[in-house]
Structures are given as structure tokens and as C-alpha cells.
Amino acid sequence: MEKEEIKKKYKLKIKKINKHNKLYYEDSSPEISDAEYDFLKKEIIELEKKYSYLNNSKSPSNSVGFKPSKNFEKFKHRVQMLSLSNAFDREDLVNFEKKILNFLNKKIQFDYSVEPKIDGISASLTYINGVLTYGVSRGDGNEGELITSNLKTIKDIPNKISNSNIPKEIEIRGEVFIEKKDFQKINYKFANARNAASGTLRQKDPRETSKIPLKFIAYTYGYTSDEKFKNQSDFLKELKSWGFITSNHNQVIKGIDELVRFHQKFETKRFDLNYDIDGLVYKINNIELQKRLGFTSNAPRWAIAHKFSADHAYSEI
């Protein structure tokens, strides 16, 4: 194919993904399935890898989300809220590990913290002296919307943490979602449970938010004044002791074979869960190693989302 033709094809795909980003992040009404979206994203990234002259600031490899809406005050994240790279098969996982080992420049053994990838809306909760002070949406990853009052209506989110163990300041991150049974009651209004959660959370009036039973599962942190966790799995335990809900499917697993086995089992098990998940997240468990690996422009090098096979995610519920 001619260079100009490739550029044209690439630009069209960028235009298309940005249209769907707006529909998803700003209007909460997507027109394509998650699988179709992931496929489009993968096509763009593959074109960029193959043809190094392709580059666009609006490419999914340079951005993680969408600008915050004008309805809410903006809030700059102290630590960026990034995205995760995707793996679809064993080969992607092998490449992921290879890149890690290359980056670290030596052979090293590590465990993974394996967690369900909850298909909701991520939220950031800053606790100062144990008091929930700022609740923010992800927005474009740099700046989110200040939605503290709306987040405070969620029962799973503690307003105050009295455990003396909590750092003076810590930003807890997790997923806001609607359980499948609750979504059934309002599904006439939204395409899927995630859009329902997004729409509900971003109501201008917190009383409207409180009418829908939103849930929250915590899984990571952004800024913290006191970093004392050795492993991600220790941090998840700590979260529980502070009163957060964490997934009871979280596991520590070693090696790609075990990851793949666990993923295969979960492909069907996910339908028994009372909320939607669209994959598993594998995070290097050791936080020191995570720090050494750091981030690319839009995702951590130390984590990957292993997606489930496409399409039947919603139809079998």
C-alpha cells in the first residue's frame, strides 16, 4: 500500500476512535461494543508499530480517556490515572514478560497480583487524616471532575477511616459499578451497566445519584504520603482493614502457564459474578519492582489487562 494511502487509512481510524471516545466518555452512550472498540484500538496500534511515520496526538497510544465534562469543577490528578495495555492471548503475555525482563536487564522471578478487571468507572478518593476530602472521576487521566458529593452517596465508600494505620494522605482508586441485578431494573435507560454507572455518577444532583445502588471496589492507590506496602497483595489486605471492599477473587499467581489456566477458568466463571468484568488484570506484585519498571506514556509497564474473548460479555447475562 502507498504511504499516502496508509496515512489516510490511519487518520480515518483515529477519527473513528475519537468519535467513539466522545460517545463513551462524554455522552455515556456508546454505539459500538467493547470488543469492537478494542479491535479498533489494536488496529491503530498495530499500524503505528508497522509504519513508524504514523503519529497523531489523538492516537490511543498517546491518550487515556476524554476531557472532563463542563458540568463539574475540574481537578488535576496528583498522579496521572493511566490506562492498561491489553493482552488477548498467551503470546501477548509472553511478549509482556519479555519486555519486562529486557527493561530490567536481568533474569528475575516475580509473582503477579491477579484481579478481576471490573467493567465500571474508575474513581479517585483522597483521604486526608482519614477523612474523604476529594472524590474525582478519571477524566482524561490528567484532569478529572470533582464529584465528591456524588461519590459520598455510595455506601461502599467510607467517609471516614479511623484505622491508625492509614497514611496521613492517600488517594485510593477503584471502580464504581452497578450490580447486574440492579441494572436489570434500569436497563431500559442505558446500553449496559457501565454506562448506567457513568451516567448516574455524573448526575448534577447527588440526590439523583443516591437513587441508584452504585457499588465500589478498591484496587490501587495514586499519591500516598507514606509508602509502606511491599506488595500489591499486602495493599489489598490493608484496603480491607480500612473498610473498603476488595474483590474476593484476587489471587497471587506465578508464571504464564498458571495465569492462562486461571484465565480459562474465569472465562465462564465471570458469568456467575454479580457484576460485569471484561478481563483479568495482572500486576507485578512487588511494589519496588513496579517502581523500577515505571510507565510508558499511557500505561504502566508492570501491569496488563488480559481480556476475555469478545462479544458474549453481555449477551449471556
Active site residues: 117
CB of 220 to ligand IVH, least distance (A): 5
Q: Residue 106 has which C-alpha cell?
A: 536481568
130 vs 279 by CB, closer to ligand IVH: 279
Q: Which range binds ligand IVH by CB under 6 A, 38-46, 48-56, 78-86, 146-154?
A: 78-86
Looking up cell 506484585 gives 285
CB of 123 to ligand IVH, least distance (A): 9
Distant-in-sequence, close-in-space partners of 247: CB < 8 Å, separation ≥ 6: 115, 116, 118, 217, 219
In whole angstroms, give the CA distance from residue 243 to residue 83.
26
Tell which residue, 72, 85, 88, 163, has the closest CA to residue 123.
Answer: 72
Residue of the chain from 14, 54, 84, 287 that contacts ligand IVH (CB under 6 A): 84
Does 281 sit near ligand IVH (CB under 6 A)? yes
Looking up cell 492507590 gives 221
State which of positions 154-193 bind ligand IVH (CB under 6 A). Answer: 175
132 vs 280 by CB, closer to ligand IVH: 280
Residue of the chain from 158, 305, 306, 308 that contacts ligand IVH (CB under 6 A): 305
Assess contact for 172 and 244: CB atoms under 8 A: yes
182 vs 276 by CB, closer to ligand IVH: 276
In whole angstroms, give the CA distance from residue 97 to residue 99.
5
CB of 89 to ligand IVH, least distance (A): 18
Beta strands in 179-249 (DSSP E): 214-224
Q: Residue 180 has which C-alpha cell?
A: 447486574
CB of 173 to ligand IVH, least distance (A): 7
Q: Binders of ligand IVH: how many residues, by CB under 6 A?
A: 15
In single-letter form, the type of residue at position 178 comes to I
CB of 229 to ligand IVH, least distance (A): 14
State which of positions 103-162 bind ligand IVH (CB under 6 A). Answer: 115, 117-118, 122, 138
Q: Is 228 exposed, middle or buried (0-12, 13-18, 19+ CB in 10 A)?
A: exposed
CB of 280 to ligand IVH, least distance (A): 8
Does 219 sit near ligand IVH (CB under 6 A)? yes
Q: Which range binds ligand IVH by CB under 6 A, 76-84, 147-155, 156-164, 183-191?
A: 76-84
CB of 255 to ligand IVH, least distance (A): 20
Q: Is 294 exposed, middle or buried (0-12, 13-18, 19+ CB in 10 A)?
A: exposed
Position of minimal CB gap to ligand IVH: 122
203 vs 250 by CB, closer to ligand IVH: 250
115 vs 182 by CB, closer to ligand IVH: 115
Assess contact for 212 and 154: CB atoms under 8 A: no
In whole angstroms, give the CA distance from residue 178 to residue 121.
10
25 vs 127 by CB, closer to ligand IVH: 25
Tell which residue, 172, 169, 171, has the closest CA to residue 225.
Answer: 169
The H or E element spanning position 8 is helix 3-21
130 vs 215 by CB, closer to ligand IVH: 215
In whole angstroms, give the CA distance from residue 118 to residue 29.
19
Does 60 sit near ligand IVH (CB under 6 A)? no
Interface residues with ligand IVH (CB under 6 A) are 82-84, 115, 117-118, 122, 138, 175, 219-220, 281, 300, 303, 305
